[in-house]
């Protein structure tokens, strides 16, 4: 049975469906030697190339949906490559065969915390769609006294340059001196929305950490720059949110050797984190503890 070209490419992990549509419109994709067009459908035996390079296509049955939870540090950008040579969130991820990791949304360069990656481009595409309002929670550190009237305005809604916005919930979470911590939740994913909401009230945000995406929380034991693969239960929670059928397979070990393998993986993560703390001069950067 034929399927839309962009859907097949996204499922194979080459990017989100929106990215694939842009590639097709730019003439970067060919089918059986002919430049593809938006709306094209392909059969399982089609010969597809991206930028002249032949790619392998997988049916829905061949793809195992995998999801990583990554603890993004400040200073990394959510792009695969950066002309300025800045580190990216993809630098430390594990290699994946015949596919690639697709980020579910973005965090700006100065925001840290939970970022999800999946090998299933269709899942990423659906989770990022504006109609899929997934609850996101952030820990925010502000500077200065915050009047109750300001908090109430952020709850009831303020006008930003791209329309009205508000926090679904906002709760104080401690702090010392002029630095106060808050936990805020919202269901939208507009660019820098959390920061812009606070800035609309002339409040300075000195730290921003995403700590939850839906029911998936940032593991407290996960170091900055570390990743962990989600178990099938959490993968299927995300697939249900996206309206997809549950996954029945996993790459995680389920036998008596799973503990040993988990220890090896944890060691690899720690080595990767240490490796990327080294600057170009070879001197390690000072480590920072999570607040």
Q: What are phi and psi of 122, to 5 degrees?
A: -65, -40
**Is 62 a residue of the active site?**
no
**Which of the following is catalytic: 32, 51, 108, 135?**
108
Is the Cβ–Cβ distance between 70 and 218 less than 8 Å? no
Pairing between β-strand 3-4 and β-strand 48-50 as defined by DSSP bridges = unpaired
CA dist list (Å): 178 to 135, 144, 146, 152, 197: 29, 5, 10, 20, 19
Torsion sign over Cα 22, 27, 29, 32: positive
Q: How far apart are CA 219 and CA 223, in angstroms?
A: 9
- Mention every residue, 6+ apart, whose C-beta is less than 8 A from residue 154: 166, 167, 170, 184, 197, 198, 201
- Mention every residue, 6+ apart, whose C-beta is less than 8 A from residue 84: none
Catalytic residue numbers, as ranges: 108
């Amino acid at each position: 049975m034929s399927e839309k070209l962009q859907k097949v490419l996204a499922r194979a992990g080459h990017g989100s469906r929106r990215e694939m549509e842009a590639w097709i419109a730019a003439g970067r994709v060919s089918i059986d030697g002919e430049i593809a067009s938006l709306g094209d459908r392909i059969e399982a035996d089609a010969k597809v190339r991206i930028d002249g390079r032949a790619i392998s296509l997988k049916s829905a049955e061949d793809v195992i949906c995998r999801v990583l939870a990554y603890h993004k540090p400040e200073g990394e950008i959510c792009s695969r490559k950066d002309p300025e040579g800045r580190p990216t969130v993809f630098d430390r991820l594990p290699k994946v065969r015949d596919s690639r990791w697709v980020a579910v949304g973005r965090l700006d360069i100065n925001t840290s915390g939970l970022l999800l990656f999946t090998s299933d481009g269709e899942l990423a595409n659906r989770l990022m769609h504006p109609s899929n309002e997934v609850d996101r929670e952030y820990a925010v550190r502000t500077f200065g006294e915050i009047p109750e009237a300001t908090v109430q305005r952020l709850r009831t809604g303020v006008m930003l340059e791209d329309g009205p916005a508000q926090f679904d919930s906002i709760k104080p979470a401690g702090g010392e001196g002029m630095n106060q911590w808050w936990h805020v939740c919202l269901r939208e994913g507009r660019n820098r929305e959390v920061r812009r909401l606070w800035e609309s009230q002339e409040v300075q945000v000195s730290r921003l950490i995403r700590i939850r995406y839906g029911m998936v929380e940032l593991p407290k034991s996960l170091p900055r720059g570390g990743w962990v693969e989600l178990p099938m239960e959490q993968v299927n929670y995300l697939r249900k949110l996206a309206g997809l059928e549950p996954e029945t397979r996993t790459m995680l070990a389920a036998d008596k050797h799973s503990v040993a393998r988990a220890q090896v993986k944890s060691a690899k993560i720690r080595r990767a984190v240490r490796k990327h703390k080294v600057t170009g001069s070879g001197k390690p950067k000072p480590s920072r503890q999570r607040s």
